[in-house]
Amino acid sequence: MRVAGAVVVIAVLNGGDGDGPARRFAAAGAAGLLIADPRVGVAEDLATALDRIGCPVIGVSSDIHQPSDIAALVDTAEKHLGPIDLFCVAGPDGEKIVALAELPGQLDRLAELLDPLGEAIGAALGEAVPPQRRAAVGGPAQLA
């Protein structure tokens, strides 16, 4: 999975931690990060600490259990950073990462990634991610 030059969204679940993945993505040459954490101020503080020329970092308080929050994350990331390349969910049991360019047409792999959150989130992502990002470019995404 290529990180250098990638725009990455990191969605933190309750009990998860975005600090580790955010620092790893930034160190690996990500072109931009959007960190979403349900705890008020946590993502914003991390973004302030990591933001730099060449890798702008945006932090928002957001709960990806809410389909409207997912749509807002996609919108915010694309408006300020460009098309999303990688989507990472950081939960209490670790991280799952998917490359959006490798997803099949209906974002099935991203829906699988978010399966514990329910089908509504996968459907919301299918509606929120622009059609050009939905096209399959290769085989199935590799989850880390």
The answer to whether 107 touches 129, Cβ cutoff 8 Å, is yes
Its pTM stands at: 0.74
Domains of the chain are 7-134 (3.40.50.720)
Between CA 13 and CA 28 the distance in angstroms is 23
**Whole-angstrom Cα distance, residue 20 to residue 22?**
5
* Helix, strand counts (H, E) of the chain: 6, 5
pLDDT in tens, 46-71: 999 999 999 999 999 998 887 778 87
- Express each pLDDT in 125-135 by its tens digit: 454 444 444 33
Encoded tokens for 29:
């040459």
* Whether pLDDT at 102 is above 90: no
